[in-house]
């Protein structure tokens, strides 16, 4: 298993209550991804629940439960990755590929806020594609059980959600806007900045590991 780095990381901000961290990670994934899968598997039930509860209360409960699940994921993974068994040892070159893939992921994330960029118009759902690339990048470069559980779950969910979204788009005959070069340049610029901040220190500050460490 990897050695825990010296210095404060994200996990240091969580109390040690003796909770099994892999169980916490899995439970958080079930809550967070389960909630975000309602439209995939039970869209009509979701609409009925909103009509019964009201949109405001529904969003409030949804947001609170999602936040709780996310906290469990972050807390569980931040601890579990140092104690989980290693399933495979990725070669060093996979880190180079992951670093490049993360650049594409950040550009896709930048395109999410710029709907008329060529990128957003081409893929239609850039946020979900950013999650696909992000999770795949981390899967190929990390081999602990915690990594496989976390990034494998997000990869499977994002692919399912993409398929569901594309099906809804076809059913509704969604018309996408014409692409704009300025928005495309903006999306790329935002992605480059996010990537630079991430590899420049934010990733190490949050998780105790630098993406540039080889």
Number of folded domains that form the chain: 1
* pLDDT for position 50: 87
Cβ atoms 118, 184 nearer than 8 A: yes
Quick check: 186 pLDDT over 90? yes
pLDDT single digits (tens) 92-149: 999 999 999 999 999 999 999 999 999 999 999 999 999 999 999 999 999 999 999 9
How far apart, in whole angstroms, are the C-alpha atoms of residue 31 and residue 67?
9
The contacts of residue 62 (CB under 8 Å, 6+ apart) are 35
Which residue range is the domain that position 110 belongs to?
10-207
Evaluate whether residue 1 is within a structural domain: no
Q: Is the pLDDT of residue 69 over 60?
A: yes
The answer to whether residue 191 is domain-embedded is yes
Q: What is the pTM of this model?
A: 0.86
Residue 213 lies in a domain: no
Report the pLDDT averaged over residues 170-197: 94
Dihedral sign (CA 80, 83, 84, 87): positive
**For the segment 8-46, what is each residue's pLDDT rounded down to a tens digit?**
455 555 555 556 889 999 999 999 999 999 988 887 888
Residue 61 lies in a domain: yes
In a domain, 118, yes or no: yes
Cα 30 to Cα 36, 70, 73, distances in angstroms? 10, 10, 10
Q: What percent of the chain has pLDDT over 90?
A: 66
Answer whether residue 214 is part of any domain.
Answer: no
Residue 186 domain flag: yes
pLDDT, tens digit, 9 for 90 and up, residues 197-213: 998 888 877 777 778 76
Asked if residue 5 belongs to a domain, the reply is: no
> Is the model's pLDDT at 214 over the cut of 60?
no
For 16-38, give one letter per residue: b (16+ CB within 10 A) or e. Answer: eeeeebbebbbbbbebbbebeee
């Amino acid at each position: 298993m990897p050695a825990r780095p010296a210095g404060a990381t994200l996990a240091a901000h969580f109390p040690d209550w003796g909770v099994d961290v892999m169980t916490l990670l899995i439970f958080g994934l079930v809550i967070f991804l389960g909630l975000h899968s309602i439209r995939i598997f039970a869209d009509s039930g979701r609409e009925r629940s909103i009509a019964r509860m009201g949109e405001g209360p529904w969003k409030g409960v949804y947001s609170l439960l999602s936040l709780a699940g996310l906290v469990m994921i972050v807390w569980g993974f931040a601890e579990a990755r140092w104690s989980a068994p290693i399933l495979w040892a990725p070669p060093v070159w996979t880190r180079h590929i992951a670093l490049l893939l993360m650049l594409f992921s950040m550009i896709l994330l930048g395109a999410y806020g710029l709907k008329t960029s060529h990128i957003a118009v081409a893929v239609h759902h850039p946020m979900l594609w950013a999650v696909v690339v992000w999770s795949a990048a981390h899967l190929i470069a990390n081999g602990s059980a915690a990594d496989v559980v976390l990034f494998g779950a997000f990869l499977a969910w994002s692919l399912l959600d993409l398929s569901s979204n594309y099906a809804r788009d076809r059913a509704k005959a969604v018309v996408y806007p014409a692409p704009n070069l300025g928005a495309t340049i903006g999306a790329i610029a935002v992605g480059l900045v996010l990537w630079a901040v991430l590899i420049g220190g934010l990733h190490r500050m949050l998780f105790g590991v630098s993406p540039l460490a080889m």
